[in-house]
Amino acid sequence: MAGHTSASFLKKWLGDQAEVIVVSPRPDYNWIPSNIWVGVGLLKPSQVLFPLLPIYEREGITFHQARATVLHPEGHGEDLKPFLEAESTREGHEGEALKVPYDFLVNATGSKLAFEATPGLGPKGHSLSVCTAPHAEEASRALDEAVERMKRGEHQRFLVGTGHGTCTCQGAAFEYIVNLEFELRARGVRDKAEITYLSNEYEMGDFGMGGIHIRRGGYVTPSSIFTESLFAERGLRWVTQAHVTGLEKGRADLEFLEWRAASSA
C-alpha cells in the first residue's frame, strides 16, 4: 500500500524530472482490507488482486518483479553511489540477480507474518488466515466444508483472533468475525455454530488506539459498549486480555496476558 502509493504520487508530481522504479516480489497489487470478504467467499481473489505491470507501463514507472535482499545506502567498494541488490521472482527468471541504483529510497516492506512465533499457528499448521488473498481463499474453502458439516447436523466451533499476543491487526479480526456470523446466518446454519473472538486488547472496541467515543443520537458511547452490544446482539462470545500460545488440530491453548493474570490471581 505505502510503496505503490508513493511510487504513483512521485511519478505524478515529478513527471519526467525523475525515474521512478518499483521493486516488489509479487506481480499483483492486493487490496488487503478486502481479503476479509474473500475469506467468507463473498469476493473472489481476482476481485482483490490486479496486475501491476500494465499500470506501471502506462504511468511510465519502471517495475522490477523482485525481492530486495541488500541495501547499500553508501554504495559498495569502488561504487560510492547508493544501490540495492535484489533477486528476481519473475516466472522463469527466479533468483536472477539485479542491481538497482537510486538517489532516494522509499523502503515500504510492511509487516512480516510470523506464524512461526506460535506453535501450530498458520495455514501450514492448524489455523487459517485472511492476511493474503491465497490464505483467504483457503479460509473460504474451509468455511464451505464446515457449512456442509453443519448442514449434516454437526456442531462447529469457530475461534477468530489475531494470532500471537504481540499482533495488532484487531480491525481485520473484528471485521472477519462479523462477516463470518453474517455468512453463517445467510447459509442457514447459524444455530450450529459457536463463535468466539479472542483479543489481546484490554477491552472490546479498543482497536489498537485505546478505544473511541462515538457521538450518536444525542449520546456519546464508548466503543467498548458499542462493540459488546454488537456482539451480544449476534450471539458472539469474546475473550479479551488473552492470546493463543499453541494450536493442535481442534484445540487452542490460551493464556491470559500478564496484567490480567496478575489482577485475577
Ligand X SMILES: Cc1cc2nc3c(=O)[nH]c(=O)nc-3n(C[C@H](O)[C@H](O)[C@H](O)COP(=O)(O)OP(=O)(O)OC[C@H]3O[C@@H](n4cnc5c(N)ncnc54)[C@H](O)[C@@H]3O)c2cc1C
How far is the C-alpha of 104 from the C-alpha of 169, rounded, in Å?
30
Binding flag, residue 97, ligand X (CB under 6 A): no
The stretch near ligand X (CB under 6 A) out of 28-36, 54-62, 140-148, 204-212 is: 28-36
Cell 533468483, located at residue: 95
Binding flag, residue 43, ligand X (CB under 6 A): no
Binding flag, residue 110, ligand X (CB under 6 A): yes
Q: Which H or E run contains 145? A: helix 133-151
Eight-state DSSP code of residue 171: H
- What track of x and - describes contact with ligand X for positions 131 through 150 (by CB under 6 A)? x-------------------
Closest distance to ligand X from the beta carbon of 217 (Å): 25
Closest distance to ligand X from the beta carbon of 145 (Å): 21
Binding flag, residue 67, ligand X (CB under 6 A): yes
Pick from 8, 10, 25, 125: which binds ligand X (CB under 6 A)? 25
DSSP assignment of 22-58: EEESSSEEE-GGGHHHHTTTSS-GGGTEEESHHHHHH
Binding flag, residue 164, ligand X (CB under 6 A): no
Pick from 7, 11, 20, 35: which binds ligand X (CB under 6 A)? 35
Binding flag, residue 1, ligand X (CB under 6 A): yes
Binding flag, residue 169, ligand X (CB under 6 A): yes
Pick from 43, 52, 68, 177: which binds ligand X (CB under 6 A)? 68
- Taking alpha carbons only, the member of 191, 187, 202, 214 closest to residue 238 is 202
Binding flag, residue 3, ligand X (CB under 6 A): yes
Buried b (16+ CB within 10 A) or exposed e, 111-126: eebebeebebbbbebb
Pick from 23, 40, 139, 143: which binds ligand X (CB under 6 A)? 23
Binding flag, residue 33, ligand X (CB under 6 A): yes
Complex with ligand X: residue 86 or 150, whichever CB lies closer: 86
- Cβ–Cβ under 8 Å, residues 221 and 214: yes
Complex with ligand X: residue 15 or 171, whichever CB lies closer: 171
Closest distance to ligand X from the beta carbon of 177 (Å): 12
Binding flag, residue 45, ligand X (CB under 6 A): no
How far is the C-alpha of 125 from the C-alpha of 104, rounded, in Å?
40
Binding flag, residue 127, ligand X (CB under 6 A): no
Binding flag, residue 130, ligand X (CB under 6 A): yes
Cell numbers given for 178? 462479523
Of all residues in the shown chain, the one whose CB is closest to ligand X is 110
Cell 482497536, located at residue: 207
How far is the C-alpha of 131 from the C-alpha of 128, rounded, in Å?
9
Binding flag, residue 113, ligand X (CB under 6 A): no
How far is the C-alpha of 256 from the C-alpha of 253, rounded, in Å?
10
How far is the C-alpha of 128 from the C-alpha of 121, rounded, in Å?
8
